[in-house]
Amino acid sequence: MSAGATLAGTEDHPHARAVLAAALGERGAPSHAYLFHGPAGTGKRTAARALAAELLAEHEPDPAAARARALAGTHPDLTWVRPTGAHVMRVSDVDEPVVAGAARTPFESTRRVFVLERADTMNDEVANRLLKTLEEPPRFVHIVLLTDAIGQMLETVVSRCQLVRFDPLSAERIAATLERDGVEPARAGACGRLALGNLTRARYLASEDGQELRVEVERFVRSALSGPEWDPRAGEPWAPLLARAEARREAAEATVERAAASRLELEPKGRERAALARDFEESARREGRRARTEVLDLALELAAITFRDLLCIAEGATGAVLSTDRADELAPAARGRDPRRLHRAIERCEEVRLALELNVTEELALAALSIRLGRLVGSAP
């Protein structure tokens, strides 16, 4: 990295920029293990890939080519790990790729770099498998852990890493970025606030797909405000959310299946090809499940935020409303509502959102939530 250059992904994060710039400077000594922590969508993955590219390009005869391959994810000395469980990292995720991989010398570079996403999903067993590698790695190994929830990380892992903090992006900064992307100001401002510091989420919410999700969530909330019974002619109020989640699942599976088809075309028939096909099938199911859960997770968080906005309006704190582009439409629904009941409605949405991680039956969970919310907030003001 040239002198004075800023590592990609750290532009809005002074702490991360300072720590990593010092490590990559002329007299720098990169740590053997980093823990990038902070909210989702703040640039941790971008920074991790950029750091890996710089580490692998150093001392190479063609640093630009090494850097480009690392950024593209094709460098043989870069290993990128994502948990294979829907909500947990498995021992197999780290055993061969990281623990065994770290014991082997680099293929091309003078270093090997391992990046592990969602490190907070490690359990004790996984952490124990990784600890020796974190404590006493070979001199050429660098490990980068990423987490959106450092509070859920095992202290035994945290204590062995150099912490690199990524701060939440301000709503104003996100809104300005969206406007530069061509989003009209009112939508950009609302999505900047709703994103809660996550630029990736803001871009999704500002998209047409994201706007449709917001509309579906608001209909779900308004149905609850009308009472525990819904108009059968209008359909079940949670059905559009499930349909959107299912569509996202199908799209995610199709992406893996296309990649599988291209890869299997080059593989001769035999046991190895059959095993590879099974791996792709499992990967497709896993990615589909994750994509489906992400939609429902966001929908329930938006429902909680909508009840929060109604609470703010009912209490006269309109300046705290997040859905600023919908405040005028929400105001009549908030008038005369019991703030305590609105607060409990927020809690109910959060409870179900967290329960989805336990693989509960989603349709039953949403149906029960709809009825509970209707009984809680559905009485006429």
Local mean pLDDT, 10-residue blocks, the chain (381 residues) = 74 92 83 94 94 94 94 94 80 92 94 95 91 92 95 92 93 94 96 93 95 96 85 81 94 88 78 80 85 93 97 94 94 92 96 83 92 85 51
The class level of CATH for 14-165 reads alpha beta
Q: State how far the alpha carbon of 112 is from the alpha carbons of 34, 103, 104, 370, in Å.
A: 14, 10, 9, 50
Report pLDDT for 86: 60
- DSSP assignment of 43-87 equals SHHHHHHHHHHHHHHTT-SSHHHHHHHHHHT--TTEEEE--SSSS
Report pLDDT for 1: 59
215 C-beta neighbours (distance < 10 Å), count? 12
Using an 8 Å Cβ cutoff, are 129 and 99 in contact?
yes
Q: What is the DSSP letter of 362?
A: H
Report pLDDT for 2: 56
Which one, of 134, 157, 144, lies nearest residue 53 by Cα?
A: 144
Scan for tokens 């002074």, then name that residue: 14
Report pLDDT for 380: 52
CA pair distance 97, 15, nearest whole angstrom: 30
Question: What's the pTM?
Answer: 0.79
Report pLDDT for 235: 78
- Cα atoms found within 13 Å of the Cα of residue 372, Cβ hemisphere only: 14
Report pLDDT for 229: 73
**Helix, strand, or coil here: 174?**
helix
- In the chain, CATH 3.40.50.300 sits at 14-165
CA pair distance 165, 206, nearest whole angstrom: 27
Tokens of 133: 């590698």
Find all residues with CB under 8 Å of 61, minimum gap 6, and list them: none
Strand order in the sheet with 112-116: 78-81, 112-116, 141-147, 33-37, 162-165
Q: Reduced to 3 DSSP states, what percent helix, strand and coil does the chain have, rounded to the nearest 5?
A: 65, 5, 30
Report pLDDT for 46: 95
CA pair distance 89, 126, nearest whole angstrom: 7
The maximal CA–CA distance of the chain, rounded, in angstroms, is 73
Instruction: Give the alpha-carbon dihedral of 120, 121, 123, 126, to 10 degrees.
Output: -100
Type of residue found at 77: D
